[in-house]
């Protein structure tokens, strides 16, 4: 293993608590734990609430990967039980509960994608239904006895809703206890999460103390801002960069982010040395470096990391062709459609799904509702619209996804 200070520098990169006292305490505890010169037990819990991962999800997974690369024992925890309730952190209302089938489908997609980053052979995967489903009502009462309602209402996301007279369901308090119980079961040294989950991670510390375990160290990271430059990255906001996207699409979306969030992306999503990132920031400030050139470097780094080095040139060429030269791609994917669609028409969602450029019908609806679908240059206004594609019709989905129609003989 590397020295304590070498590990510490890597592991605290990008970490944010929103509170200096907590930061100092966690830093001190992490140093002490690293001095034990043994692999730490580290975990990240993810509730499979949507089918696909985007770069915002990747930020804490990257931190888990850093622990793995330093020789620590990591667990990727699928919150198939907590996912039924939904994490209240940062939410203005109670989340809808997901079905078991939805959670299973999403969990499978998560694990398929996460091993593009983590080493599958050295990653322990757990499902928290394994232990949470076995708790008795007496067990839950014992867990709850460690806290007061007042402690929960001190949290901003509960306090704001309480002050507005909005409903706060007991299940939301229980969610925090369930996540804390995960830490007990995994006997964890370190838990990773978003800065909005700090309260949940601290709950885990208290529950560990209550059962005689050494409290875990909380490592929390800032929420990645989406391509709009203001809201956190989310598919529902239409500002996400999906891990599943084509290299050219990913490259182009990175190029579309506002200049002021570039350094944040360099820090949280790349493996570039901090000294190099600081030099880029300095050169941008002095106008020695053009923002476009810095952003192209960022796009190359991100595509190489998540799609592979061999995809970078292809992605960059596609971006230059479509955006800098304002040309349609020469190698647009071809979509074969039946002749009856040409003669009788087809619903736009069915046509989009036939291209295999959009992962789900809900994503296709969102694309159309946000004005992102054009057929032969004409914007499609409604998800109910019927179109009659012809041979050579160009379908444009967003700014960077294209397909061309070929009519089946």
**Mean pLDDT score of the chain:** 88
The widest CA-to-CA distance across the chain, in whole angstroms, is 73
Domain end, chosen from 324, 351, 372, is at 324
Regarding whether 294 and 187 lie in a shared domain, the answer is no
**Residues 166-219 pLDDT 10s:** 888 888 888 889 989 999 999 999 999 999 889 889 999 999 999 999 999 999
Same domain flag for 171 and 56: yes
Task: Give the tens place of pLDDT for each residue, 3-39.
Answer: 999 999 999 999 999 889 999 999 999 999 999 989 9
Tokens for 348, please give them: 């736009």
Whether residues 181 and 250 share a domain: the answer is no
Instruction: Give the domain CATH number at 362.
Output: 3.10.290.10
| Structural domain includes residue 228 | no
For the chain, the domain total comes to 3
Q: How many CB atoms lie within 10 A of CB 220?
A: 26
Report the pLDDT value the prediction gives residue 325, as an integer from 0 to 100. 63
Q: How far is CA 223 from CA 57, 83, 193, 229, in A?
A: 9, 19, 10, 12
Given this model, what pLDDT does residue 175 score? 85
Please give the pLDDT value at position 92: 46
Count of residues in the chain: 409
Give pLDDT, residue 95: 53
The CATH number of residue 161's host domain is 3.40.50.620
Tell which of 186, 221, 256 closes a domain: 221
Span 375-388, pLDDT tens digits: 887 889 899 999 98
Instruction: Identify the residue with better confidence: 40 or 57.
Output: 40
Among 300, 324, 348, the domain-final residue is 324
Q: Are residues 86 and 12 part of one domain?
A: yes
pLDDT confidence of residue 43 = 97
Is residue 197 domain-shared with residue 313, that is, in the same domain? no
Q: Where does residue 52 fall: left (phi above 0), alpha (psi -120 to 50 degrees), or beta otherwise?
A: beta
Contact assessment for residue 40 and residue 73, using Cβ atoms and an 8 Å cutoff = yes
Average pLDDT value for residue range 63-68: 96
Structural domain contains residue 235: no
Domain CATH for 263: 1.10.240.10
Q: Tell whether 77 and 144 lie within a shared domain.
A: yes
Whether residue 68 is found in the same domain as residue 170: yes
pTM to 2 decimal places: 0.74
Same domain for 307 and 348, yes or no, is no
Residue 395, domain extent: 334-407
Same domain, 391 and 353: yes
Q: Which of 59-63, 150-154, 287-291, 334-338 has the lowest mean pLDDT?
A: 150-154
Verify that 253 and 369 share a domain, yes or no: no
Are 319 and 252 in contact by the 8 Å Cβ rule? The answer is: yes
Query: Which pLDDT score, from 0 to 100, does residue 391 have?
Result: 80
Residue 264 belongs to some domain of the structure: yes
Q: 172 to each of 65, 80, 99, 179, 356, how far by Cα in Å?
A: 30, 16, 17, 11, 38
* pLDDT of 236 over the 80 cut: no
Q: What is the pLDDT of residue 244?
A: 78
């Amino acid at each position: 293993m590397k020295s304590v200070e070498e590990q510490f520098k890597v592991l605290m990169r990008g970490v944010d608590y929103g509170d200096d006292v907590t930061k100092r305490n966690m830093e001190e505890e992490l140093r002490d734990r690293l001095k034990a010169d043994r692999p730490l037990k580290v975990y990240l819990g993810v509730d499979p609430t949507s089918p696909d991962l985007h770069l915002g999800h990747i930020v804490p997974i990257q931190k888990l990967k850093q622990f793995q690369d330093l020789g620590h024992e990591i667990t990727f925890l699928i919150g198939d039980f907590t996912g039924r309730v939904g994490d209240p952190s940062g939410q203005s209302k109670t989340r809808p509960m997901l079905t078991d089938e939805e959670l299973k489908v999403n969990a499978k997609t998560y694990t398929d994608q996460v091993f593009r980053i983590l080493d599958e052979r050295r990653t322990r995967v757990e499902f928290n239904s394994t232990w949470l489903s076995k708790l008795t009502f007496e067990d839950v009462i014992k867990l709850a006895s460690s806290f007061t309602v007042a402690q929960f209402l001190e949290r901003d996301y509960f306090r704001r809703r309480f002050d507005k007279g909005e409903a706060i369901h007991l299940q939301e308090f229980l969610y925090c206890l369930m996540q804390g119980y995960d830490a007990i079961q995994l006997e964890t040294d370190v838990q990773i999460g978003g800065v909005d989950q700090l309260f949940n991670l601290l709950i885990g510390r208290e529950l560990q103390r209550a059962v005689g375990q050494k409290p875990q160290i909380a490592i929390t990271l800032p929420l990645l801002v989406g391509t709009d430059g203001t809201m956190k990255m989310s598919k529902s906001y239409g500002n996400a960069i999906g891990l599943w996207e084509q290299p050219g699409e990913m490259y182009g979306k990175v190029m579309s982010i506002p200049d002021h969030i570039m350094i944040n992306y360099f820090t949280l999503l790349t493996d570039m040395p901090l000294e190099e990132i600081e030099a880029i920031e300095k050169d941008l400030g002095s106008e020695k470096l053009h923002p476009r050139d810095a952003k192209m470097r960022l796009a190359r780094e991100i595509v190489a990391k998540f799609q592979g080095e061999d995809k970078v040139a292809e992605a960059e060429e596609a971006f230059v062709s479509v955006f800098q030269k304002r040309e349609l791609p020469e190698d647009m994917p071809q979509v074969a459609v039946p002749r009856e669609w040409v003669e009788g028409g087809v619903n736009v969602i069915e046509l989009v799904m036939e291209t295999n450029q959009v992962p789900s019908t809900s994503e296709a609806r969102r694309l159309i509702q946000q004005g992102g679908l054009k057929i032969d240059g004409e914007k499609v206004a409604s998800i109910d619209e019927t179109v009659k594609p012809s041979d050579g019709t160009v379908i444009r989905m967003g700014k960077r996804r294209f397909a061309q129609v070929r009519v089946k003989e």
